[in-house]
Structure formats: structure tokens, C-alpha cells
């Protein structure tokens, strides 16, 4: 479970202060499939970065399974990001010199990639119907396929939660729809929590819970019944 308490992020530029996020109190249970929507600049990415321990809050805290992630040391934080959290980005952020399967297991390379990891990576990519693209470089596959590789990379360590920042933002609606469908399937099969930031109401409509943010504050937090 992820929980935030008075989570606040203020960006300072010289004397000017920009409120990125203000007093967010949020509970996300394991296995949820939820989306975060809101206008540009409302603080969606900021929230995701704080949840994933990529940035430090100005006030407040993020608790993962009851543990304040600010209390973690640098090394433990890295391990947390590797083992419990998966990230999916708008522009995929794959390593262009590595092929699909290598990108999927990249988080394990510093400590050595166990053989089961590679098998799991291959299984994930096969499940995403990319079994014939394992040794293709990111530049040799489509955007939708790149995002599938990125999702497999996020899932490789069986994380508790996947944080996806506009995962369909660069994709056409067909491949975007496929990506969300795959995420939903993985949510159901592996029980992994998905937090999907999106502009696209068609995407948020596929999720069970929709959190709407404006000017750094949650203005709506509703349950939703996905339409087929």
C-alpha cells in the first residue's frame, strides 16, 4: 500500500515559488488500477515522481507499506525503486544501444542478471506478442512496441506498483488502447498496482479509480466502472 501525508512540493526559482503539489493525502491499495488526470502543469508528474522516490517532497511524506521513504538511505532507495516500483515514461526512455530483452532486464545488470530474470523478460515480451523482436534495437521497432518493452522493463522485478506518466502520450489511439489493455491484464494477472497519469479521458475511463488534480490539489477522487 502507498500512502501520502500532506505531500507538498514547492519549486523555488530565485525568489519565485511555484507550488507543484499541495497537501496531498492519498491512499492507494495494492492491486488498484487508477488514473490521475488534470490540466497541464497541475502537478501530475510531480506526484508520480514523489510517489516513486525520484524526488524529495518539500513537506509531508510518502509511505510505502507504512515506511517513510525519506528515511531510506540512497542505496535502499535505489533498491526500492528497482524491486518495488516500476516506471513507464511518455517517451519510453529505452537505452538505444541495447536490444529489447536487454532493456527489459537492465535494472539487474549491475548485480548480475539471474537466468530466471531473462526467462521472465522473454515471457513478458512474448505475452506482449514481441517474441520475434527480442534482439531488435529500440530504433528498429514501433513506438507502441517500444512502450511494451518499457512496460516489461517496469514489471521485470515483480514490483508492487507501476507508475506510468502519460504512457500513451506519444502513441496513436490504437496502440495506446493496446498498451492500456496490457496494463489492465498485468494488473489482473499479477496483482500489480497501476497509477496512470493521462490527459486522455478514454484512458482514464478504462481505470477503476480516477483522481483529478488541479493546481497541485486533488479536486476529485472517484470510483469508475470501465466501459468496454
- Provide the binding-site residues for ligand ATP, judged by CB under 6 A: 11, 13, 18, 20, 38, 40-46
Sign of CA pseudo-dihedral 3, 54, 203, 150: negative
Cβ neighbourhood burial of 211 (10 Å; 0-12, 13-18, 19+) = buried
For the chain, give percent helix, strand, coil, nearest 5. 40, 30, 35
Which one, 18 or 109, has the nearer CB to other proteins? 109
- Binding partner at 124 among other proteins, ligand ATP, Mg ion, none, C-beta below 5 to 8 Å by kind: none
Report the residue from 67, 83, 172, 188 that binds other proteins according to the rule CB under 8 A. 83
Q: Which is nearer to other proteins, 131 or 185 (CB)?
A: 131
| Shorter beta-carbon distance to Mg ion: residue 122 or 213 | 213
Q: Find the binding residues for other proteins in span 144-173 (CB under 8 A).
A: 153-154, 157
Provide CB contacts within 8 A for 140, sequence distance 6+.
133
Question: CB 123 → other proteins: shortest distance, Å?
Answer: 8
Q: Least CB distance from residue 141 to Mg ion, whole Å?
A: 25
Amino acid at each position: 500500500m502507498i500512502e501520502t501525508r500532506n505531500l507538498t512540493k514547492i519549486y523555488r526559482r530565485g525568489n519565485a515559488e511555484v507550488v507543484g503539489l499541495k497537501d496531498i493525502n492519498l491512499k492507494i491499495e495494492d492491486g488498484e488500477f487508477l488514473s490521475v488526470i488534470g490540466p497541464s502543469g497541475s502537478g501530475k508528474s510531480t506526484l508520480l515522481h514523489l510517489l516513486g522516490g525520484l524526488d524529495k517532497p518539500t513537506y509531508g511524506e510518502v509511505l510505502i507499506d507504512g515506511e517513510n521513504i525519506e528515511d531510506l538511505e540512497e542505496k535502499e532507495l535505489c533498491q526500492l525503486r528497482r524491486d518495488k516500483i516500476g516506471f513507464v515514461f511518455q517517451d519510453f526512455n529505452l537505452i538505444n544501444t541495447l536490444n529489447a530483452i536487454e532493456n527489459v532486464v537492465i535494472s539487474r545488470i549491475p548485480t548480475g542478471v539471474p537466468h530466471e530474470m531473462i526467462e521472465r523478460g522473454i515471457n513478458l515480451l512474448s505475452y506482449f506478442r514481441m517474441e520475434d523482436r527480442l534482439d531488435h534495437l529500440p530504433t528498429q521497432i514501433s513506438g507502441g512496441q517500444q512502450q511494451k518493452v518499457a512496460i516489461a522493463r517496469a514489471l521485470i522485478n515483480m514490483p508492487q506498483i507501476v507508475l506510468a506518466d502519460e504512457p500513451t502520450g506519444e502513441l496513436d489511439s490504437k496502440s495506446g488502447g493496446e498498451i492500456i489493455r496490457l496494463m489492465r491484464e498485468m494488473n489482473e494477472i499479477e496483482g500489480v498496482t497501476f497509477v496512470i497519469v493521462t490527459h486522455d479521458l478514454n484512458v482514464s475511463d478504462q481505470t477503476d479509480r480516477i483522481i483529478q488534480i488541479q493546481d497541485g490539489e486533488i479536486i476529485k477522487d472517484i470510483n469508475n466502472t470501465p466501459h468496454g
